[in-house]
Structure formats: C-alpha cells, structure tokens
Amino acid sequence: MSAGAGNREVLLLRKSIANMTETQNDLVRRPVSALIWWGLPIAIGASVDLFGLSLRAHAAICAVLFVWMATGCLLNARRCHRVHCYISGPVFLLGAALAALLAVGLIDLSSREFSNAVGAVLILALLSFIPEIVWRRYA
C-alpha cells in the first residue's frame, strides 16, 4: 500500500467517525428530544387559539415558544452542525423578536398580520431543510 493510499484511508476513517458523532449528537434523531424541543412548542402554539387570549398575550406565548425552538436549533447546530439548524435558529429568533415587540406594545399588528408573520416564520423554518437536500445535512 502506498503512503498516499494510506493517508486517504485515514482521512476517510476520520470523516466517517466525525459523521457518526454528528449523527449521534443530533437532537432530532432522538424522539424525546425532538418532541421536547419542537413538537411540544408547536402543539402549544397550535392550541393557544382555543383559550381566547388577547392578541398581545398570544404574541407573548409565541415569543416564548419561538425562543424555545430557536434554543433547540442553536444547541443542535452547536452539537452536530446541522445545516437546517444554522438557518432555522436565527429565523425563530427573528420571529420571537417580532412577537415580543407586539406583546409589549411597541408595534401594532392586526390578528391577521400576526398570524401571517407566524406562518412566514414557520414556512421559512421548513424551507431551511432545502439546503440539506441540495447540499448535505451536516456542515
């Protein structure tokens, strides 16, 4: 075996080990973690309308839920370098900022405008999976 072939094998082995570590550290691959970080806040957010809260209270809850999901994404980006999480984490933080501004009364949005903004944040988070499909899952 030549020295060049041996170096290539070592590099492939290191890359394989790094990929296994990334996959093992991915919170989405653990059902309980995925449920806690993203499933639960989505379920809470979807059920908020059932309580008949004011728009500002609804916005406050959405701000907390977006920060919750952003935290999961940013932790996951740090743990396993998931491309989607590098994009969706900041998107959720922007959504949280908008919701918080509405909750404290610094901006004025109608219920429909706020609903559209929340929908846009969720759609952008979903669209952030596209780079993983086109490029790769882990950076």
Residues 111 and 55 sit within 8 Å (Cβ to Cβ): yes
pLDDT at 34: 86
pLDDT at 25: 75
d(CA 4, CA 130): 36
pLDDT at 3: 57
pLDDT at 101: 98
| The residue type at 28 | V
Q: Which helix (H) or strand (E) holds 62?
A: helix 55-80
Residues of the chain with pLDDT under 70: 1-23
d(CA 6, CA 18): 18
Of 43, 46, 32, 51, the residue nearest 115 (C-alpha): 46
The model's pTM: 0.81
pLDDT at 30: 78
Where are the alpha helices (H) located in the chain, listed in sequence order? Answer: 3-25, 31-34, 40-47, 55-80, 83-103, 111-127, 130-134
Residues 46 and 57 sit within 8 Å (Cβ to Cβ): no
pLDDT at 17: 45
pLDDT at 26: 82
pLDDT at 1: 52
Query: How would you classify residue 81: left for phi > 0, otherwise alpha for psi between -120 and 50, otherwise beta?
Result: left
Q: Which two tokens stand for residue 126?
A: 């979903």
